[in-house]
Structure 1
Amino acid sequence: MNVRLILVLMVWPFAAIAQGFAGLGQGAEGFATPRPGVALEFPADHGAHPSYRIEWWYLTANLKGEDGRSYGVQWTLFRSALAPETREGWADPQIWMGHAGLTTPERHFVAERLARGGIGQAGVTAVPFGAWIDGWRMQGRAAEGRDELSALSLTAQGTDFAYDLDLTAEGPLVAHGQSGYSTKSESGQASYYYSQPFYRVAGTLDLPEGPIAVTGRAWLDREWSSQPLDAEQKGWDWVSLHFESGEKLMGFQLRSTDGAYTSGTWIGADGRAEPFEDGVLTMTPLGRARVAGRDLPVRWRLELPAKGLDVEIDALNAQSWMETRFAYWEGPVRITGSHRGEGYLEMTGYE
């Protein structure tokens, strides 16, 4: 382990006794907090918000090889702040963490990077858009006059895998909750949250057996806050689903000892968003698997009666465990029932 990595780990802000998953229920004293009625601003909000404690750029892709074989890719850059400011050099309180995953029906590959922002090792720029940590990059390639996230290139490498993908958006950005203000609990925790769920993808996966040309679709989530969870919320179950009809669904439930807080956004094929508040979307576990010493629900029933939705989602690979500093489950799923399609499932806080 090199000296830089040791220093990063020594000051990583979630290393203290956690409140909620990965400490996301810690208090927000000294940091900015989301407020309802604040309009999202583009392209500025594609960049970093250092006055908030936690932020991420989170992309998942459902892909197929030329033989119809299914794959999944994840690329995530997290920013976490020790203080609501930026500085040059090692004194910079902005800390960065990158996760990359690649899923096949038989294997799940994982890599992680940790960095400090003030030395140029990681960061994000809004114009031109670019997000990076070490050699991993999410780079904007938008045409003049288009949104900075309308076209991206995406690269990451692990010890035994890599990918190089091009993404082109075929629909608009989508704001969740109240025009981007996404409530997370009855006590009022919230984040700013929007997505670009309309990417078409083409590129190459590099696996131990060799390169594989793939195509598919992807979903980018952008979210920032300073206390996105209530202290009693221990984790979440989150989905991003692409239906064959062209419609889409973002949904999550945040689990606590006395129940779950749910939220969802139905996205029309034209990009029109319809938010649903707590209790409207239901997520019921149907089947479990033994994963990393845990019994995890890898098959779910999702119901949204207002949209005639009653589907089951099933993991492509039940062993899609992200063995990272704060471990969680993340992998592609297949959808059957009233709607058919594919998507991604994330589950955190299972002990």
Structure 2
Amino acid sequence: MLQAVPVAAIVLGVLCFSPLAVQAGKPAADAAGEGYPPVLPGRPLVFPYDLGAHPDYRTEWWYITGWLRDRMGVERGFQLTFFRVRTLIGEDNPSRFAPRQLVLAHAAVADPASGRLRHAERSARAYPGLAGAATGTTRVDVDGWSLAAEVAGEEGGTMEGNASGRYRSRIEAEDFGFDLSFDARRPPVLNGHQGFSQKAPDPLNASYYYSRPQLAVSGRLRIEDETVEVDGHAWLDHEWSSEILPQGARGWDWIGINLHDGGSLMLFQMRDAEGRAIWAAGTQGDATGRTHTLSADEVRFEPVRHWRSPRTGTRYPVEWRLHLADGRKLGLRPLMDDQELDSRASTGAVYWEGAVRLYEAPPDGGEREIGQGYLEMTGYAERLDM
């Protein structure tokens, strides 16, 4: 197995939220920039092709977060991310052992009973039978961990207008594991401008990015030696790019929330070294799947309460107030404070990735929970080394 600490800058160089003159969605090999193809506006996302890997690009990930409930009513959060990284190393070497592509994965369960985040990671160079990411459909695996799509119309058809689709993931770690199915009942949501998601004032800092909110989840969850049946809801992000962290940026904050009314809310901001937003954006969706794109001046994150990690000493804003252009003020609160993920054995980063509840204060006073999802915060321990 190849440890991937040296490629941390590549793996987390694009936002994890939490994505060309191309025909049929298949990118041509363009040696732009440092040997990677650029992300350009106007390139349509084509399904099912864009469910799969885009190996010409620098970095890519499939990222699933969600809430699970067992038969006793116990709620837990879970997170699963598969990364694919093109290294530009050994590309002229015909050996199958050349580390041209790396595959890495993070998995975690937010377990309030233990008060901590259970997490594990895997990493390997792409090699048949050990690790890989297929093109044309979602099928990625590393060292026994897997995520695969089973999509209606996958053979000989497209997913445009087709809401159905299923994913399945199997993860086994030392103190937890899960075997989960994810059912999609609506087409992918294209973030930004039809899937072109800008990350900074300069449009060169961008990714191709779509989401699949409101996934219905079912399956089994293991905590230590106990396995339980679970169901719940999840969110999938798929994003790929050739860019690294924008100049002047230290990190980002991202949320993906499944709203209780069937809608969805994705927001993110890029922060500088002083914690100020240098860019923000988002996508709102309603229960029918119709979406509205939020621009940089329509989103504002305000930290409310902080928590300090007893392991790294990092201080994270674990409660937030979100200000939207329509005047609404929404609140975020964590399922539990300690959801710090230390991935220095694979991607080299320490970040906070956790289950949160979304609240709204109605005009008649009080507050009510309107959604559940995940919050990701990077760059608080240190700036990603790029």
Structure 1 residues 221-240: aligned runs within 5 Å: 221-240=237-256
Spell out, residue by residue over 1:193-236, the C-alpha distance to the aligned partner (whole angstroms, 9 max, x if none).
Answer: 00111210011110025112211111110101111531221111
Offset at residue 341 of structure 1 (A): 1.6
SS in structure 1 opposite 2:250? strand
Spell out, residue by residue over 1:232-290, the C-alpha distance to the aligned partner (whole angstroms, 9 max, x if none).
Answer: 21111000011111111001011113631111000111111211111211111101111
Verify the 8 A CA contact 1:185 1:229 in the aligned structure 2: no
Q: Does 1:276 align with 2:299?
A: no
C-alpha distance in structure 2 between counterparts of 1:209 and 1:135, whole Å: 19
Aligned residue number for residue 112 of structure 1: 121
SS in structure 1 opposite 2:298? coil
Report the number of matched residues. Answer: 339
Structure 1 residues 177-326: aligned runs within 5 Å: 177-188=192-203, 189-208=205-224, 210-257=226-273, 259-260=276-277, 261-291=279-309, 292-306=312-326, 309-325=328-344, 326=349
Spell out, residue by residue over 1:113-168, the C-alpha distance to the aligned partner (whole angstroms, 9 max, x if none).
Answer: 01101444222224554211111111223345684981011111111110111111
Verify the 8 A CA contact 2:234 2:258 in the aligned structure 1: no
Verify the 8 A CA contact 1:90 1:119 in the aligned structure 2: no
Change (3 A) 1:29 1:119: same
Offset at residue 49 of structure 1 (A): 1.1
Aligned residue number for residue 65 of structure 2: 60
Spell out, residue by residue over 1:273-325, the C-alpha distance to the aligned partner (whole angstroms, 9 max, x if none).
Answer: 2111112111111011112311111111112133x532111111211111112
Cα root mean square deviation, aligned: 2.4
C-alpha distance in structure 1 between counterparts of 2:264 and 2:103, whole Å: 30
Verify the 8 A CA contact 2:256 2:265 in the aligned structure 1: yes
Verify the 8 A CA contact 1:103 1:320 in the aligned structure 2: yes
Verify the 8 A CA contact 1:28 1:53 in the aligned structure 2: no
Aligned residue number for residue 341 of structure 1: 371
Spell out, residue by residue over 1:173-212, the C-alpha distance to the aligned partner (whole angstroms, 9 max, x if none).
Answer: 1000000000000122100000111210011110025112
Aligned residue number for residue 97 of structure 2: 90
C-alpha distance in structure 2 between counterparts of 1:120 and 1:92, whole Å: 15
Any unmatched runs of 5+ in structure 2? 16-31, 362-368, 382-386
Offset at residue 41 of structure 1 (A): 1.3
Aligned residue number for residue 99 of structure 1: 106
C-alpha distance in structure 2 between counterparts of 1:48 and 1:202, whole Å: 25
Verify the 8 A CA contact 1:91 1:118 in the aligned structure 2: no
Sequence identity (%): 36
Residues 325-334 or 125-134, more deviating: 125-134
Q: Give the TM-score of the pair, scaled to structure 1.
A: 0.90
Any unmatched runs of 5+ in structure 1? none
